[in-house]
Structure 1
């Protein structure tokens, strides 16, 4: 007697109800990439989802793994640069086709190294960044999302103002003139408390977009939005330069988000009004037990108009809404 294996996932469910997202999460892969003739390894984590129709019991989970392996081999090997959003796009399109779904969604986070010189000594230091990519493949086409997550240093403007005020009173009581006090504050940065900042910046490309966005551009914009960038390896001269730079550029968490958005608007003029922007800053407090956070998200056209006119945009399109196609 011959027994045939039934495709259980294709059975009719007990309740005819579609599901918004079904898939696999935390799929870990080591991706090999050819860069300048040498092979580099990237550690990546992926989430893959499809929508599920009301007449299908379950998704074929093993097909997610098959598609991920195929896409990594076909898309990434041999490319001159690793683009997480490109890999996410190919996986999403393959998953949608393989699962017979109307919609597929893929998210990728990869940790990758960049080498940069310390600000004074020039000593080379390795910095680790998070490269983020996402894609949604549907009947309308494929939306891509490229992002980065970086760390930096912020100096609190509020505490600095309080300390400067009290210092000004003490100097005046000791007989210093207003001109001398001003010269002192110009020469010596005033103390304040610091936070380590975590900046996350995303750019979303609509279905008809063919613009390539270099992750290094986003890293530069995000790092420059904070009081100072940070370095894993520094000499004493570098430490002094970083601390002084931060205290001469005090910024609130809100300032960092606004500066990130300014950087996108001014440094990426090739982006259209239909591109999506999400800027998020979280500062890890040092004199409080809580952290602070700020965000701005929406279509770039709305952000440009608000900056130009000063009129507040009534509704900010969220990242989730943009991925779902709710322009």
Structure 2
């Protein structure tokens, strides 16, 4: 049959990224403990693309889905994303390949006093970028809900202090396989908040969480700065960015802070 995609094009324009977007598939996400089974997730392939030389009319769209279906049965992590993109470069005769996959990941939580078990849903993404004969640039993105309590409110009030739900979004990029996991990033973020949040809390847990936040007040700036210091200690990280947003309980606007940094390992 006639291969229209491989027909020539005379407009002289190389396309930097072409492929598919918004594809939903079941995937496996590697667990922090290798002995445990990978977690099944429903993932959105936000984009999966390669470059297209100027001499070709189009790319082979069906090959993207064929590759995705093959890797849907393999735990997704640095090495599998690397293999997936390497295969894409070969099968699509490309010089660069890129993928971004978003999913809900459930982190196991234990209430502080009652020890009730629950699951915390975390918005995550894996992003991979690779050039032909190059190394994989792998990015993990997590958005974690936490509690923040206002230091100013605590200082000026006779009793109580206002607190709020906060979302902390962290991106971590590395060119090397490392042991950094979603669970580790979640814990790193939670440690810099006034308190963690939980899906299940009994009365004794609620008392503990409320008092913990009260004794650990933090502005959005405090959470961000403390998290920057923690991120700087991570090994094999080339770049990170942080966004902190407090959904204010006494204002009709949010408080926001962000920071990004390239790591200097020399």
Which TM class, normalised by the smaller chain length?
Answer: 0.7 to 0.9
Q: Does 1:271 align with 2:236?
A: yes
Cα distance in structure 1, aligned partners of 2:123 and 2:83: 20
Residue pair 1:147, 1:218 contacting (<8 A) in 2 also: no
How many Å apart are 1:65 and its aligned residue? 0.4
How many Å apart are 1:14 and its aligned residue? 5.2
Cα distance in structure 2, aligned partners of 1:124 and 1:215: 19
Partner SS state of residue 113, structure 1: strand
Runs (4+) of structure 1 exceeding 4 A deviation are 32-40
Paired position in structure 2 for 1:201: 170
Q: Does 1:120 align with 2:116?
A: no
Paired position in structure 1 for 2:22: 26
Alignment gaps of 5+ in structure 2: none
How many Å apart are 1:217 and its aligned residue? 1.4
How many Å apart are 1:33 and its aligned residue? 6.7
Distance 1:221 1:37, change over 3 A: closer
Partner SS state of residue 72, structure 2: helix
Number of equivalences? 261
Residue pair 2:10, 2:55 contacting (<8 A) in 1 also: no
Paired position in structure 2 for 1:54: 54
How many Å apart are 1:286 and its aligned residue? 2.3
Residue pair 2:20, 2:61 contacting (<8 A) in 1 also: yes
Residue pair 2:79, 2:177 contacting (<8 A) in 1 also: no
Q: Does 1:103 align with 2:96?
A: yes
Paired position in structure 2 for 1:281: 244
How many Å apart are 1:66 and its aligned residue? 0.5
Residue pair 1:88, 1:107 contacting (<8 A) in 2 also: no
Paired position in structure 1 for 2:145: 151
Partner SS state of residue 167, structure 2: strand
Cα distance in structure 2, aligned partners of 1:214 and 1:38: 15
Cα distance in structure 2, aligned partners of 1:201 and 1:50: 26
Residue pair 1:156, 1:252 contacting (<8 A) in 2 also: yes
Residue pair 1:43, 1:112 contacting (<8 A) in 2 also: no
Cα distance in structure 2, aligned partners of 1:13 and 1:253: 53
Partner SS state of residue 11, structure 1: coil
How many Å apart are 1:48 and its aligned residue? 0.7
Cα distance in structure 2, aligned partners of 1:70 and 1:42: 16
- The structure carrying a bigger helix percent of its residues is 1
Residue pair 1:71, 1:90 contacting (<8 A) in 2 also: no
Paired position in structure 2 for 1:179: none
Q: Which has the greater radius of gyration?
A: 1
Alignment gaps of 5+ in structure 1: 77-81, 168-189, 306-327
Cα distance in structure 1, aligned partners of 2:113 and 2:42: 31
Partner SS state of residue 9, structure 1: coil
| TM-score, L = length of structure 2 | 0.87
Residue pair 2:105, 2:124 contacting (<8 A) in 1 also: yes
Residue pair 2:107, 2:183 contacting (<8 A) in 1 also: no
Distance 1:52 1:292, change over 3 A: farther
- The structure carrying a bigger strand percent of its residues is 2
| TM-score, L = length of structure 1 | 0.72
Cα distance in structure 1, aligned partners of 2:152 and 2:14: 51
How many Å apart are 1:157 and its aligned residue? 2.2
